[in-house]
């Protein structure tokens, strides 16, 4: 079994996932996103 920890970051979001693969079956164990978009939108920043 192969387990992968994936991390993605940008200026206002960070995401972390743990994924495994066994016999060509993929399973997402966890996927969490931390976002500051709502906070940035108060001052006109972020995405819509």
- Can you give the residue ranges of every domain in the chain? 2-41
pLDDT mean over 31-42: 85
Q: What is the mean pLDDT of the chain?
A: 88
Q: String of b and e for 4-17 (b: at least 16 CB within 10 Å)?
A: eeeeeeeebeeeee
Write the pLDDT tens digit of every residue in 12-30: 789 999 999 999 999 999 9
Q: What is the pTM of this model?
A: 0.65
| pLDDT value at residue 27 | 96
Judged on CB neighbours under 10 Å (0-12, 13-18, 19+), 39 is exposed
């Amino acid at each position: 079994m192969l387990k992968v920890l994936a991390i993605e970051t940008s200026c206002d979001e960070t995401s972390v996932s743990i994924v495994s693969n066994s016999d060509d079956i993929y399973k997402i164990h966890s996927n969490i996103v931390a976002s500051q978009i709502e906070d940035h939108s108060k001052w006109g920043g972020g995405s819509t």
